[in-house]
Amino acid sequence: MSFVHIVTFPRSGHHAMIEQLESVSDIYVNYCEYYNCIGRHGERIDCNKSNLIWKEKGFSCGAGRRIIKDHDFELLLPYSHGDKYIIQLRNPILSILSWYELDSKNESLKLPDFKTYFRQKMKFWVDFVEKWYPVISNSNVIYVPYENLAIKEKLIELALFMDLPLKTDSLYDSTSFSIKRKEVKDDGFLGEEENKISSYLEKLGLEKVVI
């Protein structure tokens, strides 16, 4: 079976997708968090790379798991026709605001002012899209916008794409996932930033959120 790289821009609903997939398949026995060598319930995974920082892991799981999460922070994850890829994206306004809220809670981080932080992350989003958009129509790639996580048929498509057996008794609950924060009120800055990426949003099928 192929390795599956779940390439997700941070704060695009990755963990929600994994939880939703678990309701229709047994993804956790094949899944590697990559950045942390821990299992679904926080248990340690017997991984020969567990003492390495993520930059040293080499895009593979030391415990032999074949479904691997990757944010591709350094844009170095190689694309191979022999592997499979799931590309996860959300409107970056929402992703970056969520990312900023998360980082703001980490007292060990020294964050720049909000606008500088936002523009740095937006540049990463644009670079991320420019790297991965050209391959999203390939047969070994599935693109998953955030809004699709509430669609059972999409979850089944993803499970089959990853060669996961479907559960005979599905635990899927349409109310277990709700799309968060669809609109953002703004005094000008976020609207200007969103307008700069209008063409990307259009081709990715992502709606504008700034009002």
Pairing verdict, β 84-89 and 31-32: unpaired
Instruction: Split the chain (211 residues) into runs of 10 and give each run's mean pLDDT.
Output: 94 92 89 89 89 90 94 96 97 96 95 97 98 97 91 90 87 65 83 96 95 88
Q: Give the pLDDT score at 147.
A: 86
Q: Give the pLDDT score at 182.
A: 75
Distance of alpha carbon 41 from the chain centroid: 20
* CA nearest to 76, candidates 154, 178, 11, 5: 5
Q: Give the pLDDT score at 40.
A: 80
Q: Give the pLDDT score at 1.
A: 77
Q: pLDDT tens, 86-111?
A: 999 999 999 999 999 999 999 999 99
Q: Give the pLDDT score at 126.
A: 98
The pTM (predicted TM-score) of the whole model is 0.92
Pairing verdict, β 141-145 and 4-8: unpaired
Q: Give the pLDDT score at 62.
A: 93
